[in-house]
Amino acid sequence: MLLEITDLHIQFETEGQVTRAVDGVSLRLDRGHVLGLVGESGCGKTATALCVPRLLPSPPARVTQGRILFDGQDLLSLDIDALRRLRGEKIGVIFQDPMTSLSPLHRIGSQLEEVVRLHRAIGCAAARDLALDWLGRVGIPDPALRAQAYPHELSGGMQQRVMIAMGLILEPDLVIADEPTTALDVTIQAQVLSLMRRLHRKNSGLLLITHDMGVVSQMATHIAVMYAGQIVEQGEAASFFAMPRHPYSAALLAAMPSTATRGKRLPAIPGQVPAAGHFPPGCRFHNRCALARPACSQAVPELRTLGDRLVRCPVVSD
């Protein structure tokens, strides 16, 4: 087992106010697999993922319960020096917003070279060659020229490609990718997804956070659907896309464009995800669910086994 998250609870504390953002999330990721963590914005996907390398700012974020094991090591109990050695070398992160992740004061090439030299005992020339190689792999034209640019001199799509190169350059055992292709055009997106697929076959694991079900369908071997701070469905990707079990999962897939829906209006999920800390009683999806019954607003559903899936819903059954 490469990554195992067990009963994770995260809350944010600001000005004496406590907000529960993640409630009892459990996930497992084996080597050679891709776990797609999906759901609308505000469901707690990024908070869960960034808690793995402990990149959530603390305060205000605080883990109140749970355990995160990476290759047998408890990440929540590691000291900061040990954690820094894992970041980049063993755990790579591709952030969603490159403008807040790349330094505006340093050239692109220098930032990539720094990642390499922090973890590898190689010289400047070798680090530069590796940086240029990875800029080319993620589809940046004329890597030698672009390496001399500052982030603000690149387009949003190119900035995101640099972010992807930075996360993959050391070929870590675990890659956490938070919406890695949002800013890319279709051609570059396909190239980057192909690169990430090749990487995860090298005995590594990929945790892919996205709301793009099309990307997940191409990449993931397993799916975990998150809603309002909880996992509501989890299982193998093939069976999930063949027949989603939770009403929220089914609604997400129904809103996914396909050849069958071309020219038709896609259905939308009514309402919106409840704000963290303001979750409704009972099933948190019941006020948006077409299958909801009166009991759904009273009993808090448990995550239970239904066939080959884990599902948090009192309505669906075998």
DSSP single-letter state for residue 96: S
- Taking the C-alpha atoms of residue 75 and residue 54, their distance in angstroms, rounded to an integer, is 8
- Residue 24 has what pLDDT? 94
- Taking the C-alpha atoms of residue 263 and residue 244, their distance in angstroms, rounded to an integer, is 24
Segments of the chain with pLDDT less than 50 = none
- Taking the C-alpha atoms of residue 178 and residue 171, their distance in angstroms, rounded to an integer, is 17
Q: Is the peptide bond before 60 cis (omega within 30 degrees of 0)?
A: yes
Task: Find all residues with CB under 8 Å of 64, minimum gap 6, and list them.
Answer: 9, 10, 11
- Residue 7 has what pLDDT? 97
- Residue 318 has what pLDDT? 63
- Classify 56 as helix, strand or coil: coil
Q: How many residues does the chain have?
A: 318
CB 92 within 8 A of CB 168: yes
Task: Find all residues with CB under 8 Å of 125, minimum gap 6, and list them.
Answer: none
Task: Find all residues with CB under 8 Å of 81, minimum gap 6, and list them.
Answer: none
- Taking the C-alpha atoms of residue 268 and residue 318, their distance in angstroms, rounded to an integer, is 26
- Taking the C-alpha atoms of residue 55 and residue 53, their distance in angstroms, rounded to an integer, is 6
Residue 9 burial by CB count (10 A; 0-12/13-18/19+): exposed, middle or buried? middle
Residue 201 burial by CB count (10 A; 0-12/13-18/19+): exposed, middle or buried? exposed
- Residue 257 has what pLDDT? 78
